[in-house]
Structure 1
Amino acid sequence: MAEEGGDGQEKTEEPTPKRRQQAREDGQIITSKETFVFVSMAGAVGLLALAFALMPRAASAWAGYFRFDGIAHLDSLIAGRTVDALVAVVMVTLAAGLPLAALTLFAQAATGGLNFAPKALGLKMNKLDPLKGMQRMISMRSLVELVKAVLKVTLLIGAAAAIMIPQLPILDRLVFSAPGDALDGFGVVLLKVLGAQCAGLLLIGGIDLAYQVHSHGKKLRMSRQEIKDEAKQTEGSPEVKGQIRRRQIEASRKGARRRKALEDVPNATSIVTNPTHFAVALRYEPGKTDAPVIVAMGDGAMAHRIMAIGQEAGVHVLRVPLLARALYFTGEIGREITPELYVAVAAIEAHVYRLNQGLDVSLPDIEVPSDLRFDETGHPLKGTRT
């Protein structure tokens, strides 16, 4: 049966990536205690088997620490050998402990991944609630833990008994054997018992891992309403998303129009620029158009492309910052300029006409209406800058 969310709906939907990430930040990852027990036990048994194989050589090396050829400087020699022996013990301990720690980390990385969650270290007051504590004690999870504990004890005792009972006659004879032979015999039996118990722990670990994966996935499930609420928090309401989408489409269309307009730049009669920011290409043909038309415009890199194309085509490029910004912020590609700029643009076209006639004339002062004067960001300017 599916769990219910806080909204009363059943949690039947798979968790979203955001929900999974939030769970990791809260320390909720797949982890199997029984898998760790098996891995640790298997590693320990492997190290024990290696220790039995190396025991004769290790015993000889250990005895060498306490073998003295003479009595000269005996006190200092004993102290030095004792330190050497302790260092050897530490090194052997590290050689055994580090692989076990690495195996445990590998087991966690292979199941739910390694994760450090500071949030999980904080004090949660709901864990101190006696009522909730009682609920946890009688929950399904507690029942599963009880079943696992009983199964573990049963399997471990059963595995040990299954190996030990047939070996009892051999163990009886080992009591009367030489110490070395007895130690070897007991070691073989011990490894068999521990190996059988490892097999039992492997079974328990596999069952526990499967349960933890299922339980973790079930805990992270979401209701449809929770998914909708998360989508609203992440992406906004449908109305806002629609507005953003429309703006993106409009911006894309404007960009496409501006790129296509570059093809018309060679047909312009003049290009007005604020060299570092804006460029507006104009075309005016007396008798064919009532007013100058904006054939292309752009800012930044697009402005530099317009100027480069225009210069290559022989179009006059004129630096008039105030007029360039006024045309840019009030005009549209393919449309006539705003009537308030007729006088200013007429002065530009007249100057271009004189240049085309071969006259060496300087650009006159261009007057731009005060209410059409903008800075580089499109905000109105105050004052009488020209």
Structure 2
Amino acid sequence: MADPESDGQEKTEEPTQKRLEKAKEDGQVASSKELFVLSTLLAGFLLYFGLSPFFATILLEWSSLLRFSGENGLQDEIYRNMGASFTFIFWKSVIFALPLLVIIVLTQMTMSGSINWSTSALAFKPNRIDPTAGLKRMFSVKALVEMLKAVGKVASLIGAAIFVFTSEVDKLLTSQATHLFGGMSRLGDVFVLLIIVFLLVLAIIAMFDVVYQQYDHNKKLKMTLQELKDESKQTEGSPEVKAKIRRLQMTAGARAKQRREAMDQVPSATAIITNPIHFAVALKYEIGTSGAPTILAMGRGHQAQEIIRLGKDAGVTVFSNELLARALFFAGKIGDEIPPPLYTAVAAVLAFIYQLNKGEQVDAPDVELPDDMLFDSNGKSLS
């Protein structure tokens, strides 16, 4: 059945690192119950042998709690021994529980690669109490695999037990012919052999289960092509947005390059129109040519100051007119002729500069601009 969130697409792509990390945050990690059974049984077996030299002492201590002299009151002694019994059981249980806890943690670390604590796994999930979802889980492929695995495990352990008892039947049948401790020793040997065989069988089962659980976990986290594309957009950005950003960057870079190259043309300008500080536009016009004046360079702020400095160093006349400088800056382009609506105003300014450069005493022209050529310092039309 297709995942409803995958829009019918088949999950064929391996999970990304982000998907794996998100699964860990939600408490979804590969886990093998068979590996836990094996590790805890092995740990208990080793603890049994490790603590066996102390069994006699432990039995003596335990038996002392079952003896009552009645010298100080039988009832008080019973209560006292009961309290001591609970303390005895508690601490002896801790001796077994702590190593087993460490083994369980190390086993999970072996499966997932790290200790994973997720509060999301503790959150209430309504689908867990949904009867429909419960029936789907009961009759799913996973449930079938778990059932077959359980049947196989029980059959394997029963077969191992039968094998051990049939191979050791002579020893068990002759135990009654020896003394008590000899018989107990033989039974202990058979018991140890049975545990070892159980461990070997469980190790084989756990090995296959670990491989299957890793495969099943990876299969659940697989992604469709659409999910992969969506995640790529979230982490790296939409390809369309990135392409637009690249275009804007290329455009900005080209403009910056054009302005740097234009700065080299400032010394050859005929005039520089300023407002007088914030904007500067360098114009070039050759008398006798048929074309209109050309904009060599323009800038605002620091760049405007640089244009003015370069022009003054080269002896270019600087003419200050706030509205005309804004109009040329916002309506014109570097390398193009000035906008036609500004022909009259620029012609009057260039004529004034031409006469001024010849040493004539003339008054500055009264420049008038069309209404659609009037801008504020932000480029907004004043009309």
Q: Give the structure-2-normalised TM-score.
A: 0.60
Structure 1 residue 151: deviation in Å? 0.5
Query: Which residue in 2 is equivalent to 1:36?
Result: 33
Which deviations, in whole Å up to 9, do the C-alpha atoms of 1:37-60 show, x marking residues without a partner?
Answer: 323432442353145224436866
Query: Which AA in structure 2 matches 1:282?
Result: A
Give runs of aligned pairs for residues 95-134 of structure 1, distance below 5 A: 95-110=98-113, 117=120, 121-124=124-127, 127-129=130-132, 133-134=134-135
Render the CA deviation track for 1:199-235: whole Å, top value 9, x for unaligned.
323332333344444445555666xxx7459858986
Taking a change above 3 Å as real, the CA distance of residues 82 and 205 of structure 1, as seen in their structure-2 partners, is: closer
Q: Report the Cα offset of residue 139 of structure 1.
A: 3.4
Residue aligning to 2:159: 158
Residue 14 of structure 1 pairs with residue 16 of structure 2: no
Where 1:334 maps in the other structure, the secondary structure is: coil
The structure 1 residue matched to 2:46, chosen from 44, 49, 64, is: 49
What SS class does the counterpart of residue 282 from structure 2 fall into? strand
1:147 is displaced (CA, Å) by: 1.0
Return 5+ residue gaps in structure 2 as ranges.
65-76, 359-364
Q: Distance in 2 between matches of 1:127 and 1:81?
A: 47
Equivalent pair of 1:273/1:321 in contact (CA under 8 Å): yes
Distance 1:23 1:11, change over 3 A: farther
Encode CA deviations 1:242-297: one digit per residue, 9 max, x unaligned: 6873574254133233135313313325596998xx87663434447732415365
- TM-score scaled by length of structure 1: 0.60
Report the counterpart of residue 284 of structure 2 in structure 1.
Answer: 284
| Kept after mapping to 2: 8 A contact 1:152/1:204 | yes
Cα separation, 1, equivalents of 2:258 and 2:352: 28
1:24 maps to what in 2?
Answer: 23
Look up the SS of the partner of 2:253 in the other structure: helix
Q: Does 1:148 align with 2:149?
A: yes
1:148, CA displacement in angstroms? 0.7
Cα distance 1:133–1:285, how it changes in 2: closer, same or farther (>3 A)? same
Question: For residues 256 and 116 of structure 2, what CA distance do their matches in structure 1 show?
Answer: 50
Residue type matched to 1:53 in 2? G
Question: How much identity, in percent, do the aligned residues show?
Answer: 23
Distance 1:164 1:135, change over 3 A: same
Check the 8 A contact 1:24/1:115 in 2, yes or no.
no
Q: 1:204 to 1:327 in 2, by over 3 A?
A: farther
- Local SS of the residue matching 2:293: coil
What is the alpha-carbon distance in structure 2 between the residues aligned to residue 291 and residue 263 of structure 1? 19
In the other structure, the counterpart of 1:295 is 297
Residue 144 of structure 1 aligns to which amino acid in structure 2? V
Which amino acid in the other structure matches residue 335 of structure 1? D
Going from structure 1 to structure 2, the CA distance change for 1:85 and 1:228 (only over 3 Å counts) comes to closer
Structure 1 110/80 Cα, relative in aligned 2: closer, same or farther at 3 Å?
same
CA contact (8 A) 1:264 1:295 kept: yes
Find the aligned partners of 1:43 and 1:27 in 2 and give their Cα distance: 26
Q: Secondary structure at the match of 1:158?
A: helix
Contact 2:298–2:307 (CA<8 Å) still a contact in 1?
A: no
Residue 193 and residue 229 in structure 1: after superposition, are their counterparts in 2 closer, same or farther (change >3 A)? closer
Tell me which moved more, 187-196 or 261-270: 187-196
Question: For residues 1-386 of structure 1, what are the structure 2 equivalents within 5 Å?
Answer: 11=10, 13-14=12-13, 17=16, 20=19, 24=23, 29=28, 31-32=30-31, 35-56=32-53, 88-89=91-92, 92-93=95-96, 95-110=98-113, 117=120, 121-124=124-127, 127-129=130-132, 133-168=134-169, 173=175, 176=179, 178=181, 182=184, 189-216=190-217, 218=219, 227=225, 231=229, 245=243, 248-268=246-266, 269=269, 270=272, 282-287=282-287, 290-295=292-297, 297=299, 304=302, 306=303, 313=310, 329-339=330-340, 372-374=374-376, 380=380
- Superposed CA deviations along residues 17-72 of structure 1, whole A, max 9, x for unmatched, are 4994698389594534xx23323432442353145224436866997999xxxxxx
Give the paired residue count. 348
RMSD: 6.0
Which amino acid is the alignment partner of residue 295 of structure 1? A
Q: Is the 8 A contact 1:258 1:296 kept in 2?
A: no
The answer to whether the Cα contact below 8 Å between 1:27 and 1:120 also exists between their aligned partners in 2 is: no
SS in 2 for 1:146: helix
SS of residue matched to 1:295:
strand
Shift of 1:153: 0.5
Distance 1:229 1:340, change over 3 A: farther
Distance 1:48 1:137, change over 3 A: closer
Q: Secondary structure at the match of 2:297?
A: strand
**What amino acid does structure 2 have at the position aligned with 1:259?**
K
Question: Equivalents in 1 of 2:350, 2:90: separation in Å?
Answer: 95
Residue 146 to residue 233, structure 1, CA distance change in 2 (3 Å): closer
Could you tell me which runs of 5 or more consecutive residues in structure 1 were left unpaired when the two chains were aligned: 67-74, 358-363
Please give the per-residue CA displacement for 1:295-318, whole angstroms capped at 9, x wherever unaligned.
3658xxxx75x4686588566899
SS at match of 1:106: helix
Contact between 1:266 and 1:309, CA under 8 Å: does it hold in 2?
A: no
CA contact (8 A) 1:40 1:100 kept: no
CA contact (8 A) 1:266 1:310 kept: no
Q: Corresponding residue for 2:67? A: none
- Contact 1:294 1:331 (8 Å CA) reproduced: no
Question: Which structure is larger by alpha-carbon Rg, 1 or 2?
Answer: 2
SS of corresponding position for 2:264: helix
CA distance, structure 2, for counterparts of residue 114 and residue 190 of structure 1: 38
Task: Check conservation: 1:25, 1:119, Cα contact below 8 A.
Answer: no
Distance in 2 separating the partners of 1:228 and 1:197: 47
Distance 2:279 2:134 in 1: 72
